[in-house]
Amino acid sequence: MIAAILYTLCMLTAFLCAWLLLTAYSRTKYKLLLWGGLCFSGLTLNNALVVLDIVVLGPTVNLFTFRLFTAFVSMMVLLYGLIWNTE
């Protein structure tokens, strides 16, 4: 029960970060905010998969590979933005 609450809070925190970053990007058009917002959007998806995998589906289904892939893609989006974005 506590684990489900914590996983859900992590997902909501990542969503809040993504929303704040993307809202700031829409006002300022500063590209690093976009890349950070996209990264946290992917991390929100990753945390949603954690909740789905561990809390909802339980030990019958293993979504570890999908969770790892979404976290990897999210970090690569941020890394791309940090390396190739020059302002």
Q: What is the pTM of this model?
A: 0.91
42: closest CA among 79, 6, 5?
79
Give tens-digit pLDDT for 65-85. 999 999 999 999 999 999 988
The total number of residues shown for the chain amounts to 87
Q: Work out the mean pLDDT of the chain and round it to a whole number.
A: 94
Tell me whether residue 46 is in a domain: yes
Domain that holds residue 37: 16-84
- Domain count for the chain, please give it: 1
- Burial (CB count within 10 angstroms: exposed 0-12, middle 13-18, buried 19+), residue 42: buried
Please report whether residue 9 resides in a domain.
Answer: no
Residue 77 covered by a domain: yes
Under the banding of pLDDT at 50, 70 and 90, the label for residue 18 is: very high
Residues whose CB falls within 8 Å of the CB of residue 43, separated by 6 or more in sequence, listed in order: 14, 17, 18, 70, 71, 74
